[in-house]
Structure 1
Amino acid sequence: MGGILLIFIGSVLIVNGISIIKGYDDKETGIFNGIIGFFCLIGNIVLMLNAKESADYVAIAQSMLFTFTYIFLSLVKICSLSGKLFGWYCLFVFFNALFYAYYTNSDLRMVTLWLLWAVLWFLFFCVFSLNKKIRYLGNLTLIIGIATCTIPGLMMVTNNW
């Protein structure tokens, strides 16, 4: 299930990156974020109902960081909110991502993914809460979506990870 969710998380990062680069409509981007966030929420609920070990709950907690990112961002975009509190949530997730990079230190691939995601969440904190302009944010979001979500997710679902 994790690989499937990761593919769709990649899709929303790709769409968000393109939206930032091209300046597309916030409401349209928000709807897509909401669809993916809701899909991930359903997937995580299914995982929770079937969880048996501590590692299962760790994976769910990790995935829910993404889930609530996209649900929260969808509301920011659709409702034309300032996003200041969303930025602070991104800072919270940044610190969680650093923890998970440390926690998964036996798997260098996952350490790398968590560190790249941490960078992205920190940059979104800077944009939304500190009103910083980051020229390369759209390109970075697009690249991270492909390299850290879509490709690993496809590898996971085909047992090549």
Structure 2
Amino acid sequence: MSAVGLLYVGVVLFVNGVMLLGHVSPRGAAPLNLFVGALQVFTPTYLIVVADGDPARIALAAGLYFFGFTYLWVGMNGLTGAPAEGLGWFSLTVTVAAVGFSIHSWTVVEDRTFAVIWLLWAVLWFTFFLLMALHREHLTPAIGVLAAGEGLLTAGVPAFLIITGWWEDTSLTTVVVAVLGLLLLAVCVPLSRPLSAPTVASRPGTAPGVH
């Protein structure tokens, strides 16, 4: 994944997490989602064009579309107030694809850290499926914490380290990301109430951007 694109995936995931916690309105988060969504559609298209038919390079670029379509959809829903069930079911397909990309990263690319990161993305998009397709609105604040945390752990921080040349794909890095990811999953529910905006904390059935 392009490190620059990954950096902005981290930003938009963090903002969307804050939105689910009730601190940003869906309309207020829409422009960033549209900007990053467009970037994540343009970037893989360019990478595939210049890949010259190389299957490995095409595979690395293909997963970016899932992010691009997600953020464009979130942005359009935020502006129009359209129902989110379609995006929820799309999130289930992203979940399945992310598991596949994780296996590919582990076995073919031999990038163990991003194999773990893809699994963490699979978990996050599955929670989006629960929220929007199955209407589990009581999970909204916890999913907000998870999204904001994964924005930093799986995207923002790794992208910054890659861009600056400080990233090292070692066994230690893989273990650290895996442990922090499990810790984030463990604390997202306990942290959801103190981190939520008062209106969301008092009305757990309210999901910003989910109509």
Q: Taking CA–CA contacts closer than 8 Å with sequence separation of 6 or more, which of the two structures ends up with the larger relative contact order? A: 1
SS of the counterpart of 1:104? helix
Kindly report the root-mean-square deviation, in angstroms, between the aligned alpha carbons of the 2 structures. 1.4
Unaligned runs of 5+ in 1: none
Per the alignment, do residues 94 and 32 of structure 1 end up closer, same or farther by CA in structure 2, a change over 3 Å counting?
same
Between the aligned residues of both structures, percent identity stands at 27
> Residue 3 in 1 paired to residue 9 in 2?
no
Higher CA-based Rg: 2
Segment drifting more, 71-80 vs 22-31: 22-31
Segment drifting more, 69-78 vs 136-145: 69-78
> Which aligned pairs between 1:54-93 and structure 2 lie closer than 5 A?
54-93=55-94
> Residue 127 in 1 paired to residue 131 in 2?
yes
> Residue 152 in 1 paired to residue 158 in 2?
yes
> Which aligned pairs between 1:3-152 and structure 2 lie closer than 5 A?
3-52=3-52, 53-105=54-106, 106-132=110-136, 133-134=138-139, 135-152=141-158
Deviation at 1:23, TM superposition (A): 4.2
Q: CA deviation digits over 1:44-101, x for unaligned, max 9?
A: 2221221131111111111111111111111122110111010000000000001111
Unaligned runs of 5+ in 2: 168-211
How many residues in Structure 1 have an aligned counterpart in Structure 2?
A: 161
Segment drifting more, 115-124 vs 21-30: 21-30
Deviation at 1:107, TM superposition (A): 2.3
State the TM-score, normalized to the length of structure 1.
Answer: 0.94
SS of the counterpart of 2:166? coil
1:55, 1:75 → 2: CA distance? 32
- Deviation beyond 3 Å, 4+ runs, structure 1: none
State the TM-score, normalized to the length of structure 2.
Answer: 0.73
Deviation at 1:123, TM superposition (A): 0.1
